[in-house]
């Protein structure tokens, strides 16, 4: 049985890009009876950028509610908050001591911000080590990641190998990345990759009126209503093609090519599609956001399962390092 592990940072509410690019594909993997899925909320990682405790708590609840809204089976699998299993930070410290400085200095997550070192905290610099601990703590075999995370997986394997050499055996399982080349970049309101940092994302859990307003903000060119339009160059059509049925996508494509169909029509169709396709996830999401005690109980249940496995791994690591008899 393959053990699959993935996490999502609690630095904001999940947006459409997170849902289509990571959450739904991961849930599909979890439905395979040959897989055992470990999905966690990376609330410790969010501390590198987000300092507000109340905000983080709200985002943690929103992320948990999103996983459940899209059908993640928390009974069959393991679902927890990273911060509630202290072995994550303990193993991260041990692994820090096996990680060479140049490796972290070459990490993309650090290099992208290294021009302004005053803005870089130590947590951001050692971010890949905590990520390695997240993975290695649970003997994960497969890590679904985007291309931008491939380097971190290679670092994880290198760090684990260094420890295993000292141990003289494979205490830490070396994971393999699973990169789905078919997953396209989900465009945001401005056509760039949908991202919280670009402030161009679509939150499909917004109240109906707010979601409609956001949808209307999608960037489009200046072609007039009567002019034919190229659907493949339009952001609204690109988003519609990701969520609508094939028949509806082909109908909209023809409308663009025929002319007499404005971007306002397309945006209204996209909004209506959001409301139809995500009606049940929106209902479940709102239920858990209103019933926080029930949501908390689900997370606590998952944390007990995660802790049991984490303690077994950390016990082996402590023994190798001379921290236990």
Give the angle 104-106-108 at the CA atoms, nearest 5°. Answer: 95
Q: Is 274:216 a contact under the CB 8 Å cutoff?
A: no
Q: Is 79 in a helix, a strand, or coil?
A: strand
- Residue 169 CA to residue 62 CA, distance in Å, equals 41
With both helix axes pointing from N to C terminus, report the angle between 235-243 and 246-258 in degrees, rounded to the nearest 10: 160
> Which residues participate in catalysis according to the annotation?
113, 193, 196
CA 164 to chain centre: 29
Strand ranges in the chain using DSSP code E only, listed in sequence order: 2-9, 35-42, 78-81, 142-144, 176-178
How many helices (H) and strands (E) the chain has is answered by 15, 5
- Residue 31 CA to residue 22 CA, distance in Å, equals 15
- Residue 100 CA to residue 179 CA, distance in Å, equals 26
- What secondary structure does DSSP assign to 80-141, as a single string? EEGGG-THHHHHHHHHHTTS-HHHHHT-HHHHTTGGGGGG--HHHHTHHHHHHHHHHTTT-S
Distance in Å from the first CA to the final CA of the chain: 32
Q: Is 173 in a helix, a strand, or coil?
A: coil
The residue written with tokens 């050499």 in the block is 165
- φ and ψ at residue 61, rounded to 5 degrees: -65, -40
- Residue 170 CA to residue 24 CA, distance in Å, equals 32
């Amino acid at each position: 049985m393959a053990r699959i592990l993935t996490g999502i940072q609690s630095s904001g509410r999940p947006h459409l890009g997170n849902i289509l690019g990571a959450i739904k594909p991961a849930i599909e993997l979890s439905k395979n009876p040959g897989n055992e899925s470990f999905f966690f909320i990376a609330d410790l990682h969010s501390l590198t950028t987000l300092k507000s405790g109340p905000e983080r708590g709200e985002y943690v609840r929103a992320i948990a509610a999103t996983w459940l809204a899209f059908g993640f089976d928390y009974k069959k699998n393991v679902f927890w908050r990273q911060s509630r299993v202290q072995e994550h930070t303990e193993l991260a410290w041990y692994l820090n001591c096996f990680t060479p400085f140049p490796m972290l200095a070459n990490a993309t997550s650090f290099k992208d911000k290294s021009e302004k070192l005053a803005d870089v905290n130590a947590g951001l610099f050692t971010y890949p080590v905590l990520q390695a601990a997240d993975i290695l703590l649970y003997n994960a075999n497969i890590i679904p990641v985007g291309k931008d995370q491939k380097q971190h997986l290679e670092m994880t394997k290198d760090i684990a190998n260094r420890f295993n050499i000292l141990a003289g055996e494979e205490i830490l399982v070396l994971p393999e990345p699973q990169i789905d080349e078919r997953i396209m970049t989900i465009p945001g309101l401005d056509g760039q990759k949908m991202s919280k940092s670009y402030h161009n994302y679509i939150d499909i859990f917004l109240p109906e009126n707010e979601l409609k307003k956001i949808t209307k903000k999608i960037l489009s060119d200046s072609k007039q209503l009567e002019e034919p339009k190229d659907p493949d160059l339009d952001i609204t059509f690109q988003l519609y093609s990701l969520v609508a049925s094939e028949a509806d996508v082909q109908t909209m494509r023809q409308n663009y090519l025929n002319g007499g169909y404005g971007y306002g029509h397309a945006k209204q169709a996209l909004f209506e599609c959001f409301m139809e396709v995500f009606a049940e996830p929106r209902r479940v999401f709102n239920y858990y956001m209103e019933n926080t005690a029930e949501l908390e109980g689900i997370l606590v249940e998952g944390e007990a399962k995660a802790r049991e496995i984490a303690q077994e791994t950390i016990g082996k690591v402590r023994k190798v390092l001379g921290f236990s008899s």
